[in-house]
Structure 1
Amino acid sequence: MTVHRFLGALGALVITLALATTGVASAQDGPDQQTPLGPISAADKDLLIKVKQASLWEGPVGEEAQTRSQNKRVREVGLQIAADHRKLDELLATLASKMKVPLPATVNPTQQTWIDELRGLNGKAFDTAFANRLRSAHGQGFGEVAKVRMGTRNQSIRDFAQATNNIVAKHMTMLESTGLVTQAGMSDPVPAGGMPGMAGDPALASARSGLLGGGGSTLLSIGLIVLIGATVTVTLLRLTKPRREAD
């Protein structure tokens, strides 16, 4: 293979990677849905669904802190989190109704593991798990809600995302004020089983997809990049390999 042919093949692979990853992202986004408040994207709808699921577990565990915690500050934070989620739920219900987006009545499986874990704890163990579980979840959610706010073309969704992140930022600050948040609470959230060292939980890899997105396009990109790398390596070795002199 000549150098020119090699570069041509490499360019074709790069184009294939770009088209493939763009195609996957577009398929995930899907067409906009028309609503009385304007068009909304798949990411916009997913925001409403995921915020509802967050309220379904954060509100109840905030209330449970009143009986399970031995720490006055943790009880105060839990009470405020529960109250804020009730207000956020009212705003969410109104918006989802107008946009005709059905909201879930149950948490997702990972969130259920957190509820079960916290309901099995009392006193100091509850306080530590509560502060770190909620700080971790709020930290991830903050970035993902901000991403939707930045990309949405719907003003109502933008306003809701802004209001949501104001509450999330407030909750993160309050959780940190307990003095119980460790590096685990600053890491990505994972299913129960790894407290207090959540960052070392073996389920971490499966939880990386995040609050609002999936990992399909990322995996495809990695696979294609590996393919390109292997092709480049083999081809360069062939091009640079010394030719044997004819006998």
Structure 2
Amino acid sequence: MAFLRRGSRPSSGTPFRGTNLVGNLEVSRGVVTVGLVLGLAGTIAALVIPVQLFGEARRNDQLSSQVTAMNGQTTPVGFVDDGEGVQIKDSGPLTAVDRDFVRRVMLAGLWEVPAGTKAKSAGTTDAVKTAGEHMVAGHQALNLSVQTTAQILGIDKMPKEANPDQKNWLAQIMSAPPEKFDRTFVQLARSAHGMIFDVLAFTRTGTKNSRIRALADQADEIVRDHMKVLENTGLWNS
């Protein structure tokens, strides 16, 4: 059989109705090329997406490891386990660390409100009086949030009085003579606020409960405000 030249007719005289062979070949080649590209793209996507997901999962696992072993610790300093394990709540899992945090925030208010009240009346400078006002207002607001959070989440065993260390700090402030009051108040209050930062960071980073996270955010804002007004007195490092 003879090959037909481009544009020729078959010997029977019937018009050749087929499309251009070279054109067909080029189109077919193009289709194959597109198919290969799409297939290659699909293969790459199939390889890349799992890698990305694996990378994300690995980052999450690393973050989780950092949270549960912050500074080489699995719990914050001074943590007291209530033995009630993890409780499932509408706002997320509630751990013993979460509950301990709520109780600690309540404890802080039990001594800082009276200490701030004393500073408002006994402070010898406006800066010290202002610091006392901020401590009272901040912890009164925080106490309400703590009580609400504890009630909603069913956290019991809430403290009713300050712990021994806090009672000691409060006793020093209450008994300080006028010439030593400002410095005693500022240094003890600032030191106590500094201790809570690690607990705040540990709890805020590790909790999976939205209500605990909100309380930690509020507490962090208030603690930073108290640190600022205490440092504005200029007595914290003297």
**Does residue 67 of structure 1 match 2:121?**
yes
Does the CA-based 8 Å contact 1:37-1:98 persist in structure 2?
A: no
Corresponding residue for residue 145 of structure 1: 200
The alpha-carbon distance between structure 1 residues 140 and 34, as it changes in their structure 2 partners (threshold 3 A), is same
Give the Cα separation in 1 of the matches to 2:187 and 2:75.
34
Does the CA-based 8 Å contact 1:40-1:154 persist in structure 2?
A: yes
Corresponding residue for residue 109 of structure 1: 164
> Deviations along 1:75-132, whole A, 9 cap, x unmatched?
1110111011111111111110011112111111110101111111132311101111
**Does residue 81 of structure 1 match 2:149?**
no
Per-residue deviation at 1:163? 1.1
**Does residue 126 of structure 1 match 2:213?**
no
Per-residue deviation at 1:35? 3.4
* One-letter code aligned to 2:136: A
Corresponding residue for residue 191 of structure 2: 136
TM value normalised by structure 2 = 0.63
Secondary structure class of the residue paired with 1:178: coil
> Deviations along 1:193-228, whole A, 9 cap, x unmatched?
xxxxxxxxxxxxxxxxxxxxxxxxxxxxxxxxxxxx
1:99 to 153, 160, 163: 153
1:34 to 69, 80, 88: 88
Give the Cα separation in 1 of the matches to 2:105 and 2:73.
27
Does the CA-based 8 Å contact 1:69-1:122 persist in structure 2?
A: no
Does the CA-based 8 Å contact 2:203-2:216 persist in structure 1?
A: yes
Aligned-pair RMSD on alpha carbons? 2.4
Give the Cα separation in 2 of the matches to 1:23 and 1:91.
27
The alpha-carbon distance between structure 1 residues 72 and 35, as it changes in their structure 2 partners (threshold 3 A), is same
Computing the radius of gyration over CA atoms, which structure comes out larger, 1 or 2? 2
* One-letter code aligned to 2:124: Q
TM value normalised by structure 1 = 0.61
Does the CA-based 8 Å contact 1:38-1:154 persist in structure 2?
A: yes
Per-residue deviation at 1:56? 0.5
Does the CA-based 8 Å contact 1:68-1:122 persist in structure 2?
A: no
* One-letter code aligned to 1:87: A
Consecutive unaligned residues of structure 1, counting only runs of 5 or more, are 1-20, 184-247
Secondary structure class of the residue paired with 1:70: coil
Corresponding residue for residue 101 of structure 2: 47
Does the CA-based 8 Å contact 1:138-1:168 persist in structure 2?
A: yes
Give the Cα separation in 2 of the matches to 1:67 and 1:149.
35
Consecutive unaligned residues of structure 2, counting only runs of 5 or more, are 1-71
Per-residue deviation at 1:28? 5.3
Corresponding residue for residue 228 of structure 2: 173
Does the CA-based 8 Å contact 2:81-2:100 persist in structure 1?
A: no
Give the Cα separation in 2 of the matches to 1:52 and 1:153.
21
Identity %: 33
Per-residue deviation at 1:156? 1.1
Per-residue deviation at 1:133? 0.6
How many equivalent residue pairs? Answer: 162
> Deviations along 1:34-93, whole A, 9 cap, x unmatched?
334332101100000000000000111100112222122101110111011111111111
